[in-house]
Structure 1
Amino acid sequence: MTIYPVETGNFKLDGGAMFGVVPKSIWNKTNPADSNNMIDIAARCLLIEDGDKLILIDNGMGNKQSEKFFGYYYQWGNHSLDGSLANLGFHRNDITDVFLTHLHFDHCGGSIQWNKDKTGYEPAFKNARFWTNKNHWEWATKPNAREKASFLKENLWPMHESGQLNFVQSNDTLYLQKSELGFGILFVDGHTEKMMLPKLNYKGKTIVFTADLIPTVGHIPLPYVMGYDTRPLLTLDEKAKFLNNAVENNWLLFFEHDAHNQLCTLKQTEKGVRLDELFSFDEIFKSQ
């Protein structure tokens, strides 16, 4: 198995929304805001090459939305999904599986593209199976008013209509030891219904893809919960269990949304679980 980080593009989001009830005077120290109160955000994915499988975990916003839509998110930098794949020697058509932590547009928008004459939409990965879970699919396709703007029909239904949509066979527990794709999954419900966090064993270490449970390094302290979360008190409980497990088991946290940090370890302190060390992916794994 070989794992690669994949940068799909950076954007900006409102810092207050990203940190909920935490005052700006505190979160601004770790995630400095610009004059519009916007902070740097990444859409960083993982690519897993494992035998005849090439699995992409999440895929960013994509590029099919309108200029007005992208105007809300202040895209910056030169990263793109196609460019990042090409730098690794791959193409979209090589992808066998697309695993989606959840179906908010900034995690799954790259799954779907315009067709050639822009009269409709089609899967952007023509040879891939798309993976979600049944509970989350039902939640996303019948959205509540709070999340409706994040679950875009054009990102969802083409997966189903193409016959490429698959559901992870989950169970009643919050942890699936091993999924159909060969890695474990942690299920969490505070951000949205049944978000899935991949848990990967790689070169003697355990990597957990934190998705929106812990978006950036600045979100490690327990009360630092996004305003986007649908069940913030549940997120608190889920984060507490997750952080304690991460410390006890020496997990590496892989950040999807931290534009400046890829991986970290944690430590237990008098104030609770806190950041220990920061690493790039290459610093840990390139020489192994």
Structure 2
Amino acid sequence: MTIYPIETGNFKLDGGAMFGVVPKTIWQRTNPADANNLIDIAARSILIEDGDKLTLIDTGLGNKQSDKFFGYYNLWGEYNLDTSLAAHGFHKDDITDVFMTHLHFDHCGGCIQWNKDRTGYEPAFKNAKFWTNRDHWKWATEPNAREKASFLKENLLPMQESGQLHFLPLNQLPFCEKSALGFGIHFVDGHTDKQMLPQITYKGKTIVFVADLIPTVGHIPLVYVIGYDTRPLITLKEKEVFLNYAAENEIYLFFEHDAHNQLCTVKHTEKGVRLDTIYTFNELFN
């Protein structure tokens, strides 16, 4: 097995929304805001090469939305999915499986692209299976008012119409030790229903792709819960369980949304579980 970090692009979000009830005077120490109160956000994926399988975990925002849409998110930097794959010798047509932690547009937007004449949409990964679970698919395609703007039909329906959509079973909640894709899955419900966090054993270390349970290093303290979560009290319980598990089992947290930190470990302190050590992927595995 070989794992590659894939940078699909960077954007910005309102710092207050990203930290909920935590005051700016506190959160800006780890996530400094610009003059418009926006903080740096990444859309970082993982690519897993394992035998004849090439699995991509999340795909970023994609590039099919309008300039007006992207204007709300202040795109920055030079990263994109195509060039990041190419840097490791791969093309989107090589991908056999796309695993989606959840179906918010910044996690699955890259799954679907315009067709050649821009009259409709098509899968960006023509040879891949798209993986979610039935409960989350129903949640996303029949969205509540709070999340409706994050579940975009142009990201979702073409997956189903293509015949490439597949569902992972939910019979091993809250943790599946080994899925059909070869890695474990933590199921969490606070951010959105049945978000899936992959757990991967690689070169003697255990990595968890923490997605929106812990977006950045600054979100490690228990009560630092993002304002976008639909069930913040459930997030608190899920974070407590996961952070204790991570501290006690030397888990490496892989950040999807931290633009400046790729991985870290955590430790127990008198104030609860806190950041231990920050790593780059190359420091750990090359």
**3-state SS in 2 of match to 1:225:** coil
1:65-84 alignment, distance < 5 Å = 65-84=65-84
CA gap of 1:134–1:231, structure 2 versus 1, over 3 A, is same
- Could you tell me which residue of structure 2 aligns to residue 133 of structure 1? 133
- Could you tell me which residue of structure 2 aligns to residue 254 of structure 1? 254
Query: Which whole-Å CA distance do the structure 2 matches of 1:5 and 1:173 have between them?
Result: 27
Shift of 1:172: 5.1
Query: Which whole-Å CA distance do the structure 1 matches of 2:30 and 2:138 have between them?
Result: 36
**3-state SS in 2 of match to 1:9:** strand
- Could you tell me which residue of structure 1 aligns to residue 167 of structure 2? 167
- Could you tell me which residue of structure 1 aligns to residue 211 of structure 2? 211
Query: Which whole-Å CA distance do the structure 2 matches of 1:51 and 1:227 have between them?
Result: 40
Query: Which whole-Å CA distance do the structure 2 matches of 1:202 and 1:169 have between them?
Result: 24
Deviations 1:236-267 (Å, cap 9, x if unpaired)? 00000000000110000000000000000111
**3-state SS in 1 of match to 2:158:** helix
Query: Which whole-Å CA distance do the structure 2 matches of 1:128 and 1:27 have between them?
Result: 39
**3-state SS in 2 of match to 1:4:** strand
Query: Which whole-Å CA distance do the structure 1 matches of 2:184 and 2:229 have between them?
Result: 23
Letter in 2 for 1:220: I
1:231-242 alignment, distance < 5 Å = 231-242=231-242
Query: Which whole-Å CA distance do the structure 2 matches of 1:224 and 1:177 have between them?
Result: 28
- Could you tell me which residue of structure 2 aligns to residue 85 of structure 1? 85
Query: Which whole-Å CA distance do the structure 2 matches of 1:158 and 1:14 have between them?
Result: 30
**3-state SS in 1 of match to 2:264:** strand
Query: Which whole-Å CA distance do the structure 2 matches of 1:285 and 1:131 have between them?
Result: 27
**3-state SS in 1 of match to 2:9:** coil
- Could you tell me which residue of structure 2 aligns to residue 245 of structure 1? 245
Shift of 1:134: 0.3
CA RMSD of aligned residues (A): 0.4
Query: Which whole-Å CA distance do the structure 2 matches of 1:116 and 1:79 have between them?
Result: 23
1:1-288 alignment, distance < 5 Å = 1-171=1-171, 173-286=173-286
**3-state SS in 2 of match to 1:150:** coil
Query: Which whole-Å CA distance do the structure 1 matches of 2:44 and 2:173 have between them?
Result: 28
Deviations 1:208-238 (Å, cap 9, x if unpaired)? 0000000000000000000000000000000
Moved over 2 A (4+): none
Shift of 1:170: 1.9
Query: Which whole-Å CA distance do the structure 2 matches of 1:76 and 1:173 have between them?
Result: 38
Query: Which whole-Å CA distance do the structure 1 matches of 2:119 and 2:101 have between them?
Result: 29
Letter in 2 for 1:250: E
Q: Which runs of 5+ in 1 are unaligned?
A: none
Query: Which whole-Å CA distance do the structure 2 matches of 1:284 and 1:14 have between them?
Result: 31
Shift of 1:173: 2.0
Query: Which whole-Å CA distance do the structure 1 matches of 2:25 and 2:171 have between them?
Result: 42
Shift of 1:169: 1.5
- Counting matched residue pairs gives 286
Q: Give the TM-score, by structure 1 length.
A: 0.99
Shift of 1:181: 0.2
Q: Give the TM-score, by structure 2 length.
A: 1.00
Query: Which whole-Å CA distance do the structure 1 matches of 2:134 and 2:146 have between them?
Result: 20
**3-state SS in 1 of match to 2:118:** coil
**3-state SS in 2 of match to 1:42:** strand
